Structure formats: structure tokens, C-alpha cells
Amino acid sequence: EPEVTQTPSHQVTQMGQEVILRCVPISNHLYFYWYRQILGQKVEFLVSFYNNEISEKSEIFDDQFSVERPDGSNFTLKIRSTKLEDSAMYFCASREEMSNQPQHFGDGTRLSIL
Amino acid sequence: DAKTTQPPSMDCAEGRAANLPCNHSTISGNEYVYWYRQIHSQGPQYIIHGLKNNETNEMASLIITEDRKSSTLILPHATLRDTAVYYCIVRKTGTASKLTFGTGTRLQVTL
């Protein structure tokens, strides 16, 4: 069964450094999402992306964050200057075009900021 | 999106049916009910979704009341591997609609 894949599984970065999290969505999906989950807290929406532009973003998704679909298969989340509070699990999800179809999630990248 | 209410935790004996309830009394006509689960810190796993009819797939059944104000996820024969946090989420259809996760129900399946 096709799945969303995320790399790396664990990223350790010094505070203030830039980090790029990578996702390969399911191949025929057209909607892409990033969520995050701080340890012990709820899964929170960050951003949705369709047709090469951001559809919606949350308050968390400030100017330090950006997303890109650099080619036909990858979807990336960049954090420009990481902060300690960016430490979390980051999940990528994708969805088919039909609006009632479910989002499918990857297994996440654990981001640890030192 | 409509808010959902779930019990914080439930226990179920292995081999028995697990019935997980969800209240969504403010659901509107164009909102679907989705169920996901999360095992440890893995990514949320899609289980099933529905609008107003009952649904069944290889993982579970979804029973939605006629007024659509509540639903029940049924795992017919729970195993230890079904121990997880289960999320009931109501989402509008249309465009890129995000999922809003609550705290879910922590299901513990025991021997």
C-alpha cells in the first residue's frame, strides 16, 4: 500500500541553525500538509499546500517557516532559524483531490533543538 | 469545524469488541466524521470516515446516529496492537481543510 515517507527520522540541530524536513507524499495526491506534535501535547496543524501555493496556515507557521515542492515528488518544510521550542515531532500528510478523502500521514521526523 | 468530545481513556479485553464513543453535537451537514489512531509517537493512522451512513472496512466499523450528533468506532476483535490513542475528528469538505486533533481516547487493550 502506498505511504507517505519522511526523512530524516531524527534530526538534531543547534539553536539558530536552519533545518529542512523532507517528505515524499503518496504519488497521486494533490494536497499536502505539515503538522507538529510537541511531546505530550496535541497534534497541531501548521500549513496546507495545493497547486504550488499555501492554502492555509496556522499562527504557529510564522516567517521562520516555509514550505516548498521543489520537484514532482518532494514536499519540504524549512525552519530558518530554529528555536528550542521548535523541538517536536513533525508529520507530513497528503490527500487525494476529492475533498472527502482522508489525509494519510508519514511516521514523522523527530526534531531536537539543542 | 465542529468540536468533538471523547472519553479520555477506555480499557478493553483482548478478543472483545472495543466501542469508542464520540459526541459531535454541533456537526453541520457538510462535515464528515474521521477516525484516526496514534500508536506511541508514530504518525496518525487513518481508520475510517463517514458522513451519515454506517461504514465498515477491514479495520473497523463506524456507526453514526441518525441525527449525526454522535458516532461510535467499533474494533470488532481488539488485539494488544490496537492499544493507541484514538481521535474522532469532524472536518468540513472542500478545499484543503485541515484536521483539528483533540486529546482523543487512550484505549488500553489487556490480556
Neighboring chain A residues of B51 at a CB cutoff of 8 Å: 100
A8-28 pLDDT, tens digit per residue, is 999 999 999 999 999 999 999
Neighboring chain A residues of B105 at a CB cutoff of 8 Å: none
> Of all residues in chain B, what percent carry a pLDDT higher than 70?
96
A83-108 pLDDT, tens digit per residue, is 999 999 999 999 998 888 999 999 99
Q: How far apart are the first and last CA of chain B?
A: 37
A27 touches B: beta carbon within 8 Å? no
Neighboring chain A residues of B103 at a CB cutoff of 8 Å: 42
Residue A4 has pLDDT above 80, yes or no: yes
Show Cβ contacts of residue B54 under 8 Å, excluding neighbours closer than 6 positions: B61, B62, B63, B64
